[in-house]
Amino acid sequence: MSGTLIANTPIAVDFWRIQKKRHARLFFLSHMHSDHTAGLTSTWRHRIYCSPVTGKILHHQLQVKKSLICSLELAVGHKIDLDELGLQTMTVTLIDANHCPGSVMFLFEGYFGTILHTGDFRYHPSMLQHPPLNNTRIDVLYLDNTNFSPNKKLPSREEATKQIKDIIKEHPEHDVVFGLYKIGKEKLMVELAKEFKSRIVVSPQKLELLNLLELEDVFEAGGGAGRISVVQESDVNRLNMNHWNQAHPTIAILPTSRPAKEWHKNYDVHVVPYSDHSSYQELQEFLNILKPCSLEPIVKHQMCEVLLKDYAQPLKKPLLEIKVPPSVQVFMMGLGCPERYGQGKAAKRQVVQAARQIPKGVVFEALEEHAHASKDLRGELQSVLNSCAAGSLCHTEDCTNRPLSYGPKKNDGKKGRYSILPRKCVPWRHIKKL
Ligand SMILES: [Zn+2]
Ligand SMILES: [Zn+2]
């Protein structure tokens, strides 16, 4: 998983390698698993939108500055500017993804239609029974398709928990070591602590992290506290199994949907398909109810894309065109962005000069309503953007997909109108040049 850049928008989800994709401007983090934070370090300089729990873990684990972390409450719509001037906004709603602590799905609503990015998620019917996802038309669905394979049978988490309990009961004299990722499966561990009346032994670093999550008090650092302990998944190996068994009879449990390895059997390592990703059947149900207009699998592999294409024949009319308001294009080019152009007269000249390169043929709403934009810059940009209204729509040389309505649009007095740029017309050439 290498993150998603949502086409024709400044939105990036779990995507942190921006050197070559400089048009990404708004950064969203779905959860703190390492495959979703690759490239994110303490030197990060842009604002990050995430859930409050993810925000806490992000600062603790990667030392990203608190001032850059924008924690958004779940289940309510948040308005976010899509340009420097506040001309265009979108609404984002965070929805519990039922995956690991702090994990969320993002529902984006704006000029691009309605986009749902699931991040990693385990489907539960309640997700589609309540707002904002009940009766919502989804134009584009970015789907966690990890387990989207008819051959992959997965039990519910409750059934998998029972399997785990049975294995522990069959080994009453053994210590039990769980191999886990840094975050995830905490609820399972709390349940096992209660069932077997044992403290859960973790490393001091893991305990610090768990304390942030304000879970029930069942975890403890240091040996001797209980027969169940947690280590990193990669630490469940042949060498350690030998070592642990020399001290005391020990079994290991790996709660994961990944297949068992050959050596596991010989070393009393039990792989139980406890998954924090939706099963194939759950994904089918999710798609059947949601009926997205188009689908983008997050995990790319050919087989899955074919299956999804077959399966999710859009039942609703898809959006044929995406309107990219020029002020958003200006934003995506980094114009007016102090990090790139700095402050002062020279910087402003550069901003205005660059803004002249945006495609022609647009009609803007009045900037006066957007009082929070700098008055000076607002005036200059307004005049440049207004002049666009007299020009043609798309002048990129390689554009072969001009809309039929090519040419200037008449202002019919309605605010917020802009010309239609079909997908292929987004002038990346201009962006690259800058
Ligand atoms: Zn994950
Ligand atoms: Zn993942």
Q: Residues 377, 296: one domain?
A: no
pLDDT at 19: 79
pLDDT band at 407 (very low <50, low <70, confident <90, very high): very low
Longest Cα–Cα distance in the chain: 82
Ligand that comes closest to the CA of residue 54: 1
Ligand that comes closest to the CA of residue 4: 2
Pair of tokens at residue 191:
């349940």
Domain termination site, one of 252, 287, 311: 311
Q: Any idea which of 153-167, 218-232, 312-326, 365-379 has the lowest mean pLDDT?
A: 365-379
pLDDT band at 222 (very low <50, low <70, confident <90, very high): confident
Tell me, in angstroms, the distance from the centre of ligand 1 to residue 343's CA.
40
Q: Could you tell me if 393 and 407 are in contact, meaning their C-beta atoms sit under 8 angstroms apart?
A: yes
Tell me, in angstroms, the distance from the centre of ligand 1 to residue 249's CA.
32
Tell me, in angstroms, the distance from the centre of ligand 1 to residue 31's CA.
7
Tell me, in angstroms, the distance from the centre of ligand 2 to residue 257's CA.
13
Tell me, in angstroms, the distance from the centre of ligand 1 to residue 35's CA.
7
Rg of the chain in Å (alpha carbons): 25
Alpha carbons 393 and 405: distance in angstroms, whole number = 9
Tell me, in angstroms, the distance from the centre of ligand 2 to residue 58's CA.
16
Ligand that comes closest to the CA of residue 276: 1
pLDDT at 332: 87
The arithmetic mean of pLDDT across residues 1-9, rounded, is 88
Q: Residues 267, 302: one domain?
A: no
Tell me, in angstroms, the distance from the centre of ligand 2 to residue 408's CA.
45
Tell me, in angstroms, the distance from the centre of ligand 1 to residue 103's CA.
8
Q: Could you tell me if 362 and 325 are in contact, meaning their C-beta atoms sit under 8 angstroms apart?
A: yes
Q: Residues 131, 213: one domain?
A: no
In a domain, 260, yes or no: yes
Separate counts of helices (H) and strands (E) for the chain: 14, 17
Average pLDDT of the residues of the chain: 80
Q: Residues 29, 121: one domain?
A: yes
The arithmetic mean of pLDDT across residues 384-403, rounded, is 35
In a domain, 67, yes or no: yes
In a domain, 318, yes or no: no
What's the sign of the alpha-carbon dihedral 270, 271, 276, 278? negative
Ligand that comes closest to the CA of residue 1: 2
pLDDT band at 399 (very low <50, low <70, confident <90, very high): very low
pLDDT band at 300 (very low <50, low <70, confident <90, very high): confident
Q: Could you tell me if 238 and 267 are in contact, meaning their C-beta atoms sit under 8 angstroms apart?
A: yes
| DSSP 8-state assignment for residue 361 | -
Tell me, in angstroms, the distance from the centre of ligand 1 to residue 2's CA.
12
Pair of tokens at residue 402:
């001009």
Tell me, in angstroms, the distance from the centre of ligand 2 to residue 203's CA.
23
pLDDT at 304: 67
In a domain, 321, yes or no: no
pLDDT at 87: 86
In a domain, 320, yes or no: no
pLDDT at 234: 95
pLDDT at 58 over 60: yes
Q: How many domains does the chain have?
A: 3
SS3 content of the chain, % helix, strand, coil (to 5): 35, 15, 50
In a domain, 410, yes or no: yes
Q: Residues 68, 101: one domain?
A: yes
Please provide the DSSP assignment of 99-128 as one string.
Answer: SSTT-EEEEEEETTEEEEE--S----THHH
Tell me, in angstroms, the distance from the centre of ligand 1 to residue 38's CA.
12
Q: Residues 100, 237: one domain?
A: no
Tell me, in angstroms, the distance from the centre of ligand 2 to residue 81's CA.
28
Q: Residues 110, 241: one domain?
A: no
pLDDT at 362 over 60: no
Q: Which domain, by its residues, includes 426?
A: 326-433
Ligand that comes closest to the CA of residue 14: 2
What are residue 305's phi and psi, to 5 degrees? -65, -40
pLDDT at 305: 66
pLDDT at 37 over 60: yes
pLDDT tens digits, 314-361: 545 555 577 788 889 888 877 545 444 455 566 556 556 656 665 444
Q: Any idea which of 264-268, 369-373, 394-398 has the lowest mean pLDDT?
A: 394-398
The arithmetic mean of pLDDT across residues 48-62, rounded, is 98
Tell me, in angstroms, the distance from the centre of ligand 2 to residue 14's CA.
10
In a domain, 317, yes or no: no
Q: Residues 121, 28: one domain?
A: yes
Pair of tokens at residue 168:
């522990």
Tell me, in angstroms, the distance from the centre of ligand 2 to residue 365's CA.
41
pLDDT band at 391 (very low <50, low <70, confident <90, very high): very low
Tell me, in angstroms, the distance from the centre of ligand 2 to residue 118's CA.
11
Q: Residues 332, 195: one domain?
A: no
pLDDT at 29 over 50: yes
CA-CA-CA-CA dihedral for 263, 264, 265, 270, to nearest 10: 180
Tell me, in angstroms, the distance from the centre of ligand 2 to residue 35's CA.
6
Tell me, in angstroms, the distance from the centre of ligand 1 to residue 46's CA.
22
Q: Residues 114, 20: one domain?
A: yes
Tell me, in angstroms, the distance from the centre of ligand 1 to residue 183's CA.
9
Question: Helices in 201-255 by DSSP H: which ranges?
Answer: 204-212, 238-247
Ligand that comes closest to the CA of residue 36: 2
pLDDT at 374: 55
CATH number (domain holding residue 48): 3.60.15.10
Alpha carbons 241 and 84: distance in angstroms, whole number = 56
Of the chain, the end-to-end C-alpha distance in Å amounts to 29
Q: Residues 111, 234: one domain?
A: no
Ligand that comes closest to the CA of residue 275: 1
In a domain, 319, yes or no: no
Tell me, in angstroms, the distance from the centre of ligand 1 to residue 95's CA.
15
CATH number (domain holding residue 186): 3.40.50.12650
Tell me, in angstroms, the distance from the centre of ligand 1 to residue 304's CA.
19
Greater pLDDT, 243 or 394: 243
Q: Residues 89, 118: one domain?
A: yes
pLDDT tens digits, 69-81: 999 999 999 999 9
The arithmetic mean of pLDDT across residues 389-406, rounded, is 29
Tell me, in angstroms, the distance from the centre of ligand 1 to residue 120's CA.
5
